[in-house]
Amino acid sequence: MIEILKNKMTPESILTAGFGVEREGLRVTPQGKLALIPHPQIFGDKLKNPYITTDFSESQVELVTPVCYSVTETYDFLEALTDIVINEIDGDKELFWPYSMPCDIPEDKDIPISTYQGESGKKAREYREKLMAKYGGKRQLISGIHYNFSFSDDFLEILWKESGSELTYKDFKDKIYLKVLRNYLRYRWLIIYLMGCTPGLHESYIKKCLECMEENGHQTFLSQGGTSARNGNCSGYKNEIDLYPDYSSVSGFIGSVKEFINRKNISEAKELYAQIRLKPKDFTNVLGSLEKDGIQYLEIRTIDLNPFDKCGIAKVDLEFLNIFMLFLLLEGEEFFETWQQEALINEVAVAEHGLESALELLDKQHWTLKTAWAEDILGKMAEINEYLNLKQDHCIEVMLNRVKNPQTTYAYRLKELMTEKGYIRANLELANKYKLESVKEHYRLKGFEKWELSSQILIKEALTRGIKVTPVDASENIIALEKDGHKEYVKQATKTSVDTYITPLLMENKVVTKMILKENGIPVPNGEEFFSFEEARVRLPKYVGKKVVIKPKSTNFGLGICIYNRGGSLDELLEGARIAFEHDNTILIEEYITGLEYRFLTMGDEVVAVLHRRPANVVGDGILTIQELIDIKNQHPYRGDGHTSPLKKIELDDQSQMFLKKQGISVLSVPKPGEVVYLRGNSNISTGGDSIDYTEKMHPYFSKIALAAARAFDAKFCGIDIIIEDYKNPESAYGIIELNFNPAIMMHAYPFEGKERRLGYNILKTIGLAE
Amino acid sequence: MIEILKNKMTPESILTAGFGVEREGLRVTPQGKLALIPHPQIFGDKLKNPYITTDFSESQVELVTPVCYSVTETYDFLEALTDIVINEIDGDKELFWPYSMPCDIPEDKDIPISTYQGESGKKAREYREKLMAKYGGKRQLISGIHYNFSFSDDFLEILWKESGSELTYKDFKDKIYLKVLRNYLRYRWLIIYLMGCTPGLHESYIKKCLECMEENGHQTFLSQGGTSARNGNCSGYKNEIDLYPDYSSVSGFIGSVKEFINRKNISEAKELYAQIRLKPKDFTNVLGSLEKDGIQYLEIRTIDLNPFDKCGIAKVDLEFLNIFMLFLLLEGEEFFETWQQEALINEVAVAEHGLESALELLDKQHWTLKTAWAEDILGKMAEINEYLNLKQDHCIEVMLNRVKNPQTTYAYRLKELMTEKGYIRANLELANKYKLESVKEHYRLKGFEKWELSSQILIKEALTRGIKVTPVDASENIIALEKDGHKEYVKQATKTSVDTYITPLLMENKVVTKMILKENGIPVPNGEEFFSFEEARVRLPKYVGKKVVIKPKSTNFGLGICIYNRGGSLDELLEGARIAFEHDNTILIEEYITGLEYRFLTMGDEVVAVLHRRPANVVGDGILTIQELIDIKNQHPYRGDGHTSPLKKIELDDQSQMFLKKQGISVLSVPKPGEVVYLRGNSNISTGGDSIDYTEKMHPYFSKIALAAARAFDAKFCGIDIIIEDYKNPESAYGIIELNFNPAIMMHAYPFEGKERRLGYNILKTIGLAE
């Protein structure tokens, strides 16, 4: 089989598979007690949000990645969801518990079971109440990682075709997955050793379980040599008796599960708490669908949360699991009657004594030193890695180190930490650290860094609210959003189906814009158009000395605009015309209205944000030079390239050098304390300007004008630039300068000064995907 | 006053004014009898169509230009309307009578009075019935030119400000227009001489009028020395008695008109048949509005139709009128009691004896030789022209020639023609000539030649149906269309408000297009994407020898596409990838489907046209070389630059030279009779391809597929390219190649082979402006 892979596939395509991670975790108070307030409303209907829901308890958040096709993609998506959860759960009152075993928990009657909406919600609730009665609530609060894995269709099809199998493709697939499942059962002890991390319990946990541990002070109970209480016999989440389904075929499996149900060992298929599960296409009819459609993927449930990683699982562990699945497929099998019992013995042995150096396990009915066996397996994996040129040396070496040096395992490290700080403090410190990390970079959405910030804002909001996000084209910033059968495609956050095709085409033309505004009774600056430089030359003399602006008919980022706010000479006006003609074959001259320019952002029927942009500037302190002040200002986390950052770093080009020179200063000048030094005339964010929120400060009269302008074009998403003499006074002179059909939203979402506006929500509302 | 113009205005702005022309004309049978079938339905509601309506009679079409701002614009618009009328009135059964006096007409009882819709239509009809009773139907059939003129606001404001007038602007304006009106009355005899052209009558006209003429055979009655029977005492369209309103002020005028109505000389203000009229803002309340809002413009009603011009008035005459109005403004006045009577005497004298060389007129109560006086006026105009550098020498010289050589006047020339051919034949021959001209260039819309042909198609259809067209930006092909208060902006004919903003953005991306089509169950060719040349190099080997197409993710006009319809070598495929990467940073490789490519054009819920594009080709005759055959093919009137022409001239570039070389021939080869020689591989119209209509031939199954594809994107205007093996067979293999969001429509409207599709109508229907 390995020969087929070697000859017919590239290393990259061998490692390409379907990955999905579910990560549970408790919401806790800053004191480490179970949070008793409900699941945040923003996450919407728990039964419909595909990304963020609850598990057994209302306080137990479950994060679910969609199917991803690489380890990096999977980890990034999980990190994005983790950041969202950490930021959305009530920041002052709650933390996200990083450990699999519960925090300081109350008795069963006070553990809040998840509540749900509607008829199917009623069933979900009833099932949980039954579990509570049968297993107790405390055990149900245990959280972990579920790792879902499927081989790619390409991978399976090539194996099927090249192996000359006489099976149908469906049967071949089932056979592959069953083999991997059986081998997983055999070798799962290794995962429990490498990734197990439940060495301790809190005193509020089930009394009987605490007895298997040693009391260590600080309400802490620790296992001496165990790696994973969660996978052990004493504290874990297991069926009442050990069940050994038939994994030789799908029909055999179905038969055995039906037998368990008949025998009332379990009430339905999903109550079978196997370490690894066969997953069907149709979840509402697990056994029927497995038979009809075959196995779709495998779900591994062994893995404990890794409290040393914000996401609950380290990327290196995901990398290892990827190649481990391949090892399970390639490794031969030996069948004997008690192979499942043997695997269970090994599981429990490692869970409860994995850190003991002399531990022996049963390898095909022979006792073998755990360390030697582990090294043997990792050696085989290293061979596969080398033979297929998979370049996964790093993760194998990390695991080999964990085998050779048990003190590098998560379980050992956490036990040390709990010994020092106690169970609650050890976990709370980690939770607080992750919270700081998530809050600090809250404007970035992990895994979507290549997307424009505006798209990141929208995607993040959609993920939060459980609106299905499908990235369609990252380079063009196109996504599909879907909820309750309503699908919308969105490009660059605000190019949507709710605006018409013609609106942006009209708006990008300044002459047409003015015409339409005028028709709708909205004041625009007086002015005229020139279609040639010759025409400008003839008609410009009358504007000499007047306050005017000269600009190209269509503009982008303020390019080609000259402002004469103190009037210009004929030569200066002609130079302005020349510059404007470089950008368009029609130019405009307009009266210059005195005042400050404000950007009004409208979505649907609302002005959702207003801001003023101040030209790039620094404020002196009497000590530092302008250049030094710029360097410091540029260190602000919001300043970057202006596309993936809310603000742009200030760059000193020729224009700004000239601008300083005109003021009689240079970058080496030292401004007085409090002195504001402007570095250029225009206020665009794209040239280092500051954004200052005015949403609440602006007089509502001007917001009405902005909305009327957007409506004149039937524009649902619109940025309206208005110059206003006095923003507090509705009688003040004003004039609309420009309308923008693809308005930047990041400057409102993350302004330099003032309140951050949650615009992802407004976008979703405008396109009908949020209320 | 002239000094102000000289110093404060440019020649161009002095000549800029508001012009509007109304031109009436009868629909006649090919035999010259009055057409008795109703006004064409396509022109819609007569009371609402602002361009094409009827006047007194159902058979009397009236063409109305909007306000234009130059002579050229005015003439062009009139020509556009004339072409539309000539093409739309039933071509085989009707002609457009070019002469002011009626054709062969029946008695009053058989003259069809215009019919109208609705309540206001009832009033319009009643007014006409009253006129019929009072003046007789035959006189009402006389047609002419109404010339509307207003000075520009700029012009009037500068005069007002610079003259230091103490009047309000409104009063100043009234004063200006009243002066021009009075001088027009004084000098109108010159216009009747220069442009008068009703030297004859048909025997079916009012008997009493015929008596003023000499019978000349062919049912023709001619005036010997008259220029304009229409303006004479005998045959024209005048009030029952001569009325002399007070033109000294607006209030004086209103008083005198009210007096006429009291005296029952006329029933309402509009029945005052003056040679020149003061026009109000509000037509429903003429006198009240004149008082309140002031005079808006002047309407000159003197001018006869010029049968020597398709439009009824020559451009040189419009040029002359422009400067003539200026002369009337600048020329001084002398008042005496009988100045209006004197002007009327002169008018009648010229109308009835203008061609007599010895004719004398009354100039301020002194008899003066008409010729000398005319030369004097034209001399003054020449001085104005020179002093203000207006460059209108040509039209003044033409008029001087008409004065010096009466045989060059329209009246004289037409009298000669009628003498030779008879009244009816002379006019029918001219009408037939204009019809041939209009039909020949039916795909061009006069005055809109700079617009893309697709916009011309839409504008023409809108004008025809009386939908108000406002050109918004010619260089960007943006128009506004308005009907019954419903306004739509349209860019490039099919970019409208009925499509959404996101639709074209999705459609321009081939990867997204395929994804969405697939999701909607519509077959697309198999294939994959490459994001780098490196990736292409790794994955292309498996496509060697297979029928494939390589293309950039976003394409325009088929650029960067390589077709391997007989399979390619690795080198050839890599070269294709290299070319495709020149156009985009993502490229596609797809299976090549055998068959012909068809373009389906959908608008709204219909497939409105289907065509096949054949690559540039020539058909041999055994004599001419390929180059000569190309030259002949390029002479087809539809072939031009491909933007303002339906098809593009075939150009032999390097690619087509190579294409011929591969076939072992060159441009100097002589193909056999009937042999089709293809000049390139791709079939785009933009590279000289032929368009062949398949709308009726195409199996409806494929039209349904095309419509489903457009609907998948919610696209109202869409061009769908489908490769089909056998267009007659719904079982045939097919694949969608591409969707176009701004589909070319001219190739369907004016195909190389097959029926021309009237797509302007479909566009209007789709945007809700036609039913």
pLDDT (tens digit per residue) in A108-152: 999 999 999 888 889 889 989 988 988 889 999 999 999 999 999
φ/ψ of residue B64, rounded to 5:
-130, 115
Structure tokens at A390: 């998979």
Query: What pLDDT does A555 receive?
Result: 63
Beta carbons of B512 and A473 less than 8 Å apart: yes
pLDDT for residue B302 is more than 80: yes
φ/ψ of residue B162, rounded to 5:
-75, -25
In whole angstroms, what is the distance from residue A612 CA to residue A727 CA? 10
| Chain A residues closer than 8 Å to B478 by CB | 505-506, 509, 512
The partner residue sitting opposite B495, judged by closest CB among A488, A501, A509, is: A501
Element (H, E) at A721: strand A717-724
Residue A719 pLDDT class (50, 70, 90 cuts): very high
pLDDT for residue B477 is more than 90: yes
> At a CB cut-off of 8 Å and minimum separation 6, what does B637 contact?
B440, B441
Residue A558 pLDDT class (50, 70, 90 cuts): low
Q: What is the 3-state secondary structure (H, E, C) of A454-507?
A: HHHHHHHHHHHCCCEEEEEECCCCEEEEEECCEEEEEECCCECCCCECHHHHHH
Q: What is the 3-state secondary structure (H, E, C) of B629-645?
A: HHHHHCCCCCEEECCCC
The partner residue sitting opposite B502, judged by closest CB among A495, A505, A741, is: A495
Query: What pLDDT does B685 receive?
Result: 87
pLDDT digits (tens, 9 = 90+) for B50-82: 999 999 999 999 999 999 999 999 999 999 999
Q: Which CATH class is domain B2-440?
A: alpha beta
Residue B556 pLDDT class (50, 70, 90 cuts): low
Query: What pLDDT does B274 receive?
Result: 87
> At a CB cut-off of 8 Å and minimum separation 6, what does B233 contact?
B348, B351, B352
Query: What pLDDT does A745 receive?
Result: 92
ipTM above 0.90, yes or no: no
In whole angstroms, what is the distance from residue A277 CA to residue A286 CA? 11
| Chain A residues closer than 8 Å to B505 by CB | 476, 478, 491, 495
pLDDT for residue B91 is more than 70: no
Q: CA–CA distance from A49 to each of A455, A498, A542, B739 (Å)?
A: 20, 24, 64, 34
- Fold match between A526-591 and A596-766? no
Q: A474 CB near a chain B CB, below 8 Å?
A: no
Q: CA–CA distance from A379 to each of A373, A409, A707, B250 (Å)?
A: 10, 19, 68, 109
| Chain B residues closer than 8 Å to A473 by CB | 509, 511-512
Structure tokens at B481: 């269309």
The partner residue sitting opposite A497, judged by closest CB among B500, B512, B586, is: B500
Residue B555 pLDDT class (50, 70, 90 cuts): low
Average pLDDT over residues A8-34: 95
Beta carbons of A497 and B503 less than 8 Å apart: yes
pLDDT for residue A510 is more than 80: yes
Please name the residue of chain B whose CA is at the shortest distance from the CA of residue A515: B472
Beta carbons of B512 and A538 less than 8 Å apart: no
Structure tokens at A537: 């030359």
3 state SS of A601: strand
Average pLDDT over residues B749-763: 95
pLDDT for residue B293 is more than 90: yes
Q: By mean pLDDT, which of A707-716, B141-150, B592-601 is the weakest?
A: B592-601
Strand order in the sheet with A468-473: A468-473, A478-483, A486-491
Query: What pLDDT does A662 receive?
Result: 84
B:362-401 residues touching chain A, CB 8 A cutoff: none
Average pLDDT over residues A529-553: 87
Q: Which residue has the tokens 């422009």?
A: B322
In whole angstroms, what is the distance from residue B618 CA to residue A55 CA? 73
pLDDT for residue B711 is more than 70: yes
Domain A596-766 CATH (choose: 3.40.50.720, 3.40.50.620, 3.40.250.10, 3.30.470.20):
3.30.470.20
Average pLDDT over residues A675-693: 90
Residue A315 CB burial class (10 angstroms; 0-12, 13-18, ≥19): middle
Q: B509 CB near a chain A CB, below 8 Å?
A: yes
| Chain B residues closer than 8 Å to A503 by CB | 497, 501
pLDDT digits (tens, 9 = 90+) for A632-653: 999 998 898 877 788 999 998 8
Percent of chain B with pLDDT over 90: 77
B:484-503 residues touching chain A, CB 8 A cutoff: 488-491, 495-503
* Single pTM value for the model: 0.87
In whole angstroms, what is the distance from residue A409 CA to residue A399 CA? 9
Average pLDDT over residues B120-144: 90
Q: By mean pLDDT, which of A144-148, A251-255, A714-718, B680-684 is the weakest?
A: B680-684
Percent of chain A with pLDDT over 90: 77
Q: A711 CB near a chain B CB, below 8 Å?
A: no
Best of A10, A468, A478, A501 to disrupt the B interface (most B CBs within 10 Å) is A501
Query: What pLDDT does B715 receive?
Result: 97
Average pLDDT, chain A: 93
Query: What pLDDT does A557 receive?
Result: 59
In whole angstroms, what is the distance from residue B115 CA to residue B118 CA? 10
Q: CA–CA distance from A351 to each of A115, A229, A230, A238 (Å)?
A: 33, 6, 8, 13
Our separate counts of H helices and E strands in chain A read 26, 28
Structure tokens at B675: 């042999």
Other C-beta atoms within 10 Å of B622: how many? Answer: 10
| Chain B residues closer than 8 Å to A489 by CB | 502, 506, 512
Query: What pLDDT does B703 receive?
Result: 97
Average pLDDT, chain B: 93
- The residue extents of the domains of chain A are 13-367+411-440, 526-591, 596-766
Element (H, E) at B22: strand B17-28
Structure tokens at A441: 């970079």
Task: Choose among B366, B398, B400: nearest CA to B380.
Answer: B400
Architecture, CATH, for domain A13-367+411-440 = 2-Layer Sandwich (3.30)
- Residues composing chain A: 771
The answer to whether the beta carbons of residues A131 and A270 sit under 8 Å apart is no
Q: A528 CB near a chain B CB, below 8 Å?
A: no
For residue B434, give how far its alpha carbon lies from the nearest alpha carbon of chain A (Å): 36
Q: A505 CB near a chain B CB, below 8 Å?
A: yes
Average pLDDT over residues B695-719: 97
Domain A526-591 CATH (choose: 3.40.109.10, 3.40.190.10, 3.40.50.300, 3.30.1490.20):
3.30.1490.20
The answer to whether the beta carbons of residues A488 and A769 sit under 8 Å apart is yes
The answer to whether the beta carbons of residues A200 and A418 sit under 8 Å apart is yes
φ/ψ of residue A426, rounded to 5:
-55, -45
pLDDT digits (tens, 9 = 90+) for A587-617: 989 888 888 989 999 999 999 999 999 999 9
Element (H, E) at B151: strand B145-151
Q: A676 CB near a chain B CB, below 8 Å?
A: no
Beta carbons of A496 and B502 less than 8 Å apart: yes
